Amino acid sequence: MKKIAVFASGNGSNFQVIAEQFPVEFVFSDHRDAFVLERANQLRVKSYAFELKEFENKADYEAALVELLQEHQIDLVCLAGYMKIVGSTLLSAYEGRIINIHPAYLPEFPGAHGIEDAWQAGVEQSGVTIHWVDSGVDTGKIIQQVRVPRLAEDTLESFEARIHEAEYRLYLEVLDSLGVDRK
């Protein structure tokens, strides 16, 4: 059975969807006050949190992450709203075992503001992408994508809500396709 960990920086809605369907070994947040930690507590999922500023440098921060992943024998890391770029320390230890969800149809609108960038560009559709993490920003090999149309009556908020709904469905499909056992 593949053991998964989820990394998240904020609200944790993708984490919750995953944890309700799949056994998550632990959730990690790079913010000690992130709501994802409360979600983990409610779902009885082990959680850890520490921040980059608590370490000398990013390499030491990521070395602590690698130690945590190895201690729990994690097979797959699922980034779900984890707002840090994966650096060389973590990538060298877990390359080919880290996936990320991005709220746009890559290569369109990479970076931290995919939904807002698509909205501002006035596109007729955007989407959701799940990809393998590499050394670039949202440049890894695409696993699966889905398009989300922008409707005439959409506001930024309704467009964003429909993109998040697509994220929840897509993450479950991808984890199934990667052979992760459901609960």
Catalytically annotated residues: 102
CA distance 104 to 142: 12
CA distance 27 to 45: 7
For residue 136, the 8-state DSSP code is S
CA distance 183 to 24: 9
Q: What is the CA radius of gyration of the chain?
A: 16
CA distance 113 to 38: 25
125-132 and 98-102 beta bridge pairing: antiparallel
Instruction: Report the largest interatomic distance among the alpha carbons of the chain, rounded to a whole angstrom.
Output: 50
Neighbours of 70 (CB within 10 A): 11
76-79 and 4-8 beta bridge pairing: parallel
